[in-house]
Amino acid sequence: MVEHIATQTVTTRYWKLAALLAVLSMVSPFSIDTFFPSFHAIAADFGLSMWAVQQTLTVYMLPLSIMSLVQGPLSDAVGRRPVILAGLCLYTVASIGCTFAPNFATLLIFRALQGVSAGVGMIVGRAVIRDLFEGAQAQKLLSLVTLLFAFAPAVAPIIGGWIHVTLGWHAVFGFMAIFGGLLALGTYFTLPETHPQ
C-alpha cells in the first residue's frame, strides 16, 4: 500500500513537471506567432509599412538566438531555477511594455527584451530534463516537450486572432504578459532546483 502511494506520488510529480516544462517551451513560439493577425493594425496605428512592422520579428529573433548560447551555461553556473524565474519575470515585464508601448520605437525595445528572455524555458528546461531523468524517461519527456513546441505555432495565431478581433492588438501582448506571469508563478511553486551546487 505504501509503495503504491509512493509510486502514485512520483508519477503525479513527473506529469506536473512534464506539463510545466512543455508549457515553458511554448513561450517562444507564442511570442512569434500570436501577434501575426495584428500586423495590419499595428502598421495602421503607427503609420508604418508592413516591412517596418516586420522589424518586430528581427529585433526579437536576434537576441533570442544570442541568448540561447548564454542561458544554458548561465544555468550551469547559478542554477536552473533562478535563470528560468528571472527570464520569465523579464519576459512578463517586456510583454507589459509591448502592451502599453506609446510608439513603434518603444515596441521594438520591448520586443528585443522579449527575445532576450523568451527562450529560457526551452533551453534551461531541457537541462532540467537531463538533470532529473535518463534513458527512456528522458526521451519520453523530451518527445512531449518537442510535440507541444511544434503544436504552439499552429494554435498561437488562432488565439492571437480571437484576442485581436475582440480586444485589439494591445491585448495580444497583454495575453503574453499574463501567460508569462502565470508561468513564473507555476515555476516558483512547482519547479525544484535540479542542478547540484
Contacts of 144 (CB under 8 A, 6+ apart): 18, 22
Q: Is residue 195 part of a domain?
A: no
- The residue among 94, 126, 136, 114 whose CA lies nearest residue 195 is 126
Please state the domain count of the chain.
1
For 118, the domain range is 2-190
Would you say residue 197 lies in a domain? no
Is 93 within the bounds of a domain?
yes
**pLDDT tens digits for range 152-192:** 888 999 999 999 999 999 999 999 999 999 999 999 998 88
Residue 196 within a domain = no
Residue 125 in domain: yes
List the CATH number of the domain containing 100: 1.20.1250.20
Q: Over the stretch 75-131, which tens digit does the pLDDT of each residue have?
A: 999 999 999 999 999 999 999 999 999 999 999 999 999 999 999 988 898 888 888
Q: Rounded distance, CA 89 to CA 177, Å?
A: 9
- Which amino acid does the sequence have at 182? L
Q: What is the number of other CB atoms lying within 10 angstroms of the CB of residue 110?
A: 22
Residue 48 lies in a domain: yes
Rounding to the nearest 10 degrees, give the CA dihedral for residues 62, 67, 68, 71: -170
